[in-house]
């Protein structure tokens, strides 16, 4: 359930390290008289929070400024972070995640971001509590403030900031003599710097360097075991996102992001939920809230359900608090009810090539194999996500369709109670995506088109009325497939079943709660990102 709460904004910058103000003192007073959620929760669960932050940003990020001016700007964002920590503490939160770029902002040059960077010692080499040892390293004011928040809230805290590291003598050292990294930091509830992750897959971030090797960061917690961490665009790549999960003990991932929504396939909450389902893990995702840039969409996602926030109308931050299972359970890929759903039985017959019968008003017609091309609608092409998809329209109340491109064939068997006055299409793409990043994808997608013309299929749509019961499947050559499922009003749905059958990956759903916007199987062929 989405909760509303009043945010008490601290007035006046004051000292960057000031820990208490009227707002926080009041929150602490309330906390002392209330029981937190954690005290009452089942021991099989922990309490997590993610905060979608409405960024206070520099009006001209490319302008050169002083460290003092940079700290004054960052203090405004840190003050809000502190309020959210205190609100979360009242609810017994044990770990909180803040978004990428939420402290300093974005669109800097390499030179203009420099005053915003903290010095970052390696937590692997140095054990350090910035709040309790503030004089140990210079230019660490932001780290000190975050460390103190973790102590105040008695919770693990994950945040993103810009960091700097001298590199004189290193063969790969930039000409200015330093590395600049987009960095996630993890603090324990006693304020100790547990670890740091430096973003590996940068998204047009000229201010930052890519680490020479990808960080594979896993940190341990006393309440839920091991967590992995990576940032935003990393979620689409093998390293570090998939590589982290080779450790079977990693059941949870923290995910700071500054994600611009791109429909119909890559809205923030879509890919967040799909990652949790695909890998059977919990994903704690915090996005920046900048609707003017298409940035919104955060959530606490498990393989079976999500608590999420998506809001393009209001310009305010939002705190999500949720109980999370310590051992996430994934969707079953097998029938566990003992009774075979009739539509699934028909799907299995189609896969096996068995006889399939259709009944019209007079008689039953059977054939020895599915006749996919009988009365087939026309194939057409349209741009979706900057890629040239091959599609067929979905016109009838029920039927089965096939569309192929390169080696991938996508299949749809569907029924709907009525044909709405909207155009839907089944599309396929099997190739190298080259716009805003280069990576190889195999996609089967049932989408609502932007209008009634074929050229509108692939446009961004958020509202729909079309109701479907369907099986969607394809002969994917990769095992890394993300189920994307979005209904009207930016609502997430859970498939009834998904998994592999006879060399095909499928998704099944009956009983949508609202009109279908997108149902897609988004395959990543990581080994072909750099060529065949």
Residue 375's pLDDT band, with cuts at 50, 70 and 90, is low
What is the pLDDT at residue 184?
A: 98
Contact 90, 36 (CB under 8 A): yes
Tokens (6 digits) for 48: 């997590």
Domain-wise residue ranges, the chain: 45-325, 377-528
Which letter does DSSP use for residue 435 in this model?
S
The answer on pLDDT for 474 being more than 60 is: yes
- Show which residues are catalytic: 100, 199, 232
Q: Which long-range contacts (CB under 8 A, 24 or more apart) does 390-397 make?
A: 390/427, 390/428, 390/429, 391/425, 391/426, 391/427, 391/428, 391/454, 391/457, 392/425, 392/426, 393/423, 393/424, 393/425, 393/454, 394/424, 394/425, 394/426, 394/446, 395/419
468 pLDDT above the threshold of 50: yes
Q: What's residue 532's pLDDT?
A: 65
Collapsing DSSP to helix, strand or coil, 454 comes out as helix
For the cut 60, the answer to whether the pLDDT of residue 384 exceeds it is: yes
Q: How far is CA 237 from CA 230, 438, 445, in A?
A: 11, 10, 20
Share of the chain above pLDDT 90, in %: 81
The mean pLDDT value of the chain amounts to 88
Residue 6 has pLDDT above 90, yes or no: no
Side-chain-side CA neighbours of residue 398 (13 Å): 8
Closest CA to 97 of 57, 52, 163: 52
> Distance (Å, rounded) from C-alpha 510 to C-alpha 178?
55
Q: What is the mean pLDDT of residues 108-122?
A: 97
Asked if the model's pLDDT at residue 43 lies above 90, the reply is: no
The pTM of this model reads 0.89
On the question of pLDDT at 332 being above 70, the answer is no
- Tokens 């054990």 sit at which residue? 127
- Cα separation, 297 vs 396, in Å, equals 34
Instruction: Using the predicted structure, report yes or no on whether residue 522 has a pLDDT greater than 60.
Output: yes
Q: How confident is the model at residue 282 (pLDDT cuts 50, 70, 90)?
A: very high
Structure tokens given for 247: 């450790």
Beta bridge partners of 182: 162
Contact in structure between 410 and 444 (CB atoms under 8 Å):
yes
- Residue-wise pLDDT for 422-444, tens only, equals 999 999 999 999 999 999 999 99
In this structure, are strands 118-119 and 156-166 parallel, antiparallel, or unpaired? parallel
d(CA 445, CA 425): 8
In this structure, CATH architecture of domain 45-325: 4-Layer Sandwich (3.60)
Structure confidence at residue 515 (pLDDT): 97
pLDDT (tens digit, 9 = 90+) per residue, 228-250? 999 999 999 999 999 999 999 99
pLDDT higher than threshold 60 for residue 372? no
pLDDT exceeds cutoff 50 at 16: no
Rounded Cα distance between 183 and 103, Å, is 11
Residue 44 CA to residue 46 CA, distance in Å, equals 7
Tens-place pLDDT, residues 168-227: 888 889 999 999 999 999 999 999 999 999 999 999 999 999 999 999 999 999 999 999
């Amino acid at each position: 359930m989405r909760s509303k709460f009043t945010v008490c904004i601290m007035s006046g910058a004051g000292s960057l390290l000031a820990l208490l103000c009227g707002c926080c003192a009041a929150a602490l007073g309330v906390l002392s008289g209330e029981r937190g959620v954690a005290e009452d929760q089942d021991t099989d669960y922990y309490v997590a929070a993610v905060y979608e932050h409405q960024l206070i940003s520099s009006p001209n990020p490319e302008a050169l400024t002083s460290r003092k001016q940079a700290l004054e700007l960052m203090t405004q964002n840190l003050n809000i972070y502190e309020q959210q920590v205190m609100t979360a503490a009242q609810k017994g939160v044990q770990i909180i995640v803040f978004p990428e770029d939420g402290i300093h902002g974005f669109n800097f040059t390499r030179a203009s971001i420099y005053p915003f960077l903290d010095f970052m010692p390696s937590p692997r080499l140095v054990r350090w509590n910035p709040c309790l040892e503030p004089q140990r390293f210079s230019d660490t004011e932001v780290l000190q403030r975050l460390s103190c928040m973790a102590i105040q809230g008695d919770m693990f805290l994950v945040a993103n900031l810009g960091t700097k590291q001298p590199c004189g003598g290193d063969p790969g050292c930039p000409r200015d003599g330093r590395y600049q990294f987009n960095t996630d930091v993890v603090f324990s509830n006693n304020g100790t710097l547990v670890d740091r992750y430096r973003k590996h897959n940068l998204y047009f971030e000229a201010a930052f360097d890519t680490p020479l090797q990808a960080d594979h960061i896993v940190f341990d917690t006393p309440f839920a075991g091991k967590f992995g961490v990576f940032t935003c665009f990393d979620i689409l790549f093998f390293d570090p996102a998939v590589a982290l999960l080779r450790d079977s003990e990693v059941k949870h991932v923290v995910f700071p992001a500054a994600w611009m929504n791109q429909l119909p396939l890559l809205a923030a909450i879509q890919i967040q939920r799909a990652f949790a389902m695909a890998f059977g893990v919990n994903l704690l995702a915090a996005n920046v809230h900048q609707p003017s840039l298409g940035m919104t969409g955060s959530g606490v996602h498990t393989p079976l359900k999500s608590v999420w926030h998506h809001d393009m109308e209001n310009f305010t931050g939002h705190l999500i608090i949720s109980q999370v299972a310590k051992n996430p359970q994934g969707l079953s890929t097998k029938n566990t009810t003992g009774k075979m759903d009739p539509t699934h039985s028909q799907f299995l017959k189609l896969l096996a090539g068995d006889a399939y019968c259709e009944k019209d008003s007079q008689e039953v017609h059977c054939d020895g194999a599915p006749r996919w091309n009988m009365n087939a609608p026309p194939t057409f092409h349209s741009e979706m996500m900057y890629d040239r998809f091959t599609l067929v329209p979905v016109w009838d109340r029920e039927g089965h369709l096939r569309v192929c491109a390169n080696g991938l064939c996508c299949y749809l068997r569907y029924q709907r109670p009525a044909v709405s006055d909207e155009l839907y299409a089944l599309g396929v793409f099997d190739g190298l995506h080259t716009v805003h990043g280069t990576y190889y994808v195999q996609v089967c997608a049932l989408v609502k088109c932007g209008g009634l013309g074929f050229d509108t299929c692939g446009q961004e749509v958020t509202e729909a009325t079309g109701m479907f019961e369907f099986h969607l499947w394809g002969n994917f050559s990769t095992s890394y497939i993300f189920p994307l499922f979005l209904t009207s009003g930016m609502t997430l749905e859970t498939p009834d079943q998904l998994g592999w059958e006879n060399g095909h990956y499928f998704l099944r759903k009956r009983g949508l709660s609202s009109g279908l916007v997108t149902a897609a199987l988004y395959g990543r062929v990581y080994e072909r990102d750099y060529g065949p």
